[in-house]
Amino acid sequence: MRAVSFGSWLWLGLGLLFISSDFSVVFAKRFLRCELARKLLNQHGFERSLLSNWICLLEHESDLETGKITTNVNGSRNYGLFQINSRFCQEGRRGGICNVKCEDLLDENLTESATCAKRIQTSDGFRHWGGWQRYCRNTQNLPNLKVICGI
Ligand SMILES: *[C@@H]1O[C@H](CO)[C@@H](O)[C@H](O)[C@H]1NC(C)=O
Ligand SMILES: *[C@@H]1O[C@H](CO)[C@@H](O)[C@H](O)[C@H]1NC(C)=O
């Protein structure tokens, strides 16, 4: 009798654990490298020739995690897959240089974040991102997406 009820509690606990981990998946997502490369190319109009730079940058900035938030030394925050600084967005409502809500930059729907990131890259170049400067500036470090992903 005791053993049965202990077992039920255990299952209930595990069930809750799975439910709660599922909920976070609704809002944020960790992409796989080739999955993301294809998505940026086919759905968000990223240039094929720049794709390996983007993937390298994203792996070092966010580990391909859309929900990532980091706080900088000066108190500003970086949001999402592209680690976009809060001067480009506004917390709670649309605003900033990209006229976007910061929280929307954490979404697994990349429409807002990809548009803003492309805009930053067009004006500042990849050097805007510290992760790119440190790890991706040397083209020998870029992933060969043709070999790895067939794209
Ligand atoms: C704060 O630091 C971040 C990261 O270094 C930088 O991108 C941002 O421009 C800085 N913000 C201000 C207001 O100085
Ligand atoms: C993603 O978001 C954009 C605008 O924010 C919207 O137009 C689009 O339908 C969304 N895509 C999906 C698959 O939900």
Read off the CATH number of the domain in which 64 is found. Answer: 1.10.530.10
Q: Please report whether residue 94 resides in a domain.
A: yes
Q: Degrees (nearest 5) of the Cα angle 96, 102, 108?
A: 135
In the predicted structure, residue 16 carries a pLDDT above the cut 90 = no
Stated pTM of the model: 0.83
CA distance 14 to 80: 29
Q: Output the pLDDT for position 27.
A: 72
| Structure-token match 């470090």, residue found | 141
pLDDT tens-place string over residues 74-126: 999 999 999 999 999 999 999 999 999 999 999 999 999 999 999 999 999 99
Residues of the domain holding 52:
25-149
Assign 119 to helix, strand or coil.
helix
CB 42 near ligand 1, within 6 Å: no
Structure tokens at 59: 């792996």
Residues for the chain: how many in total?
Answer: 151
Query: Is residue 68, in this structure, part of any structural domain at all?
Result: yes
Report, as an integer, the average pLDDT of 145-149: 97
- Into how many domains does the chain fold? 1
Q: Whose C-alpha lies nearest to ligand 1, atom 14?
A: 74
Provide the angle, in degrees to the nearest 10, between the axes of the packed helices 51-61 and 33-42. Answer: 130
Ligand 1 pocket test, candidate residues 72, 83, 84, 124, most atoms within 8 A of CB: 72
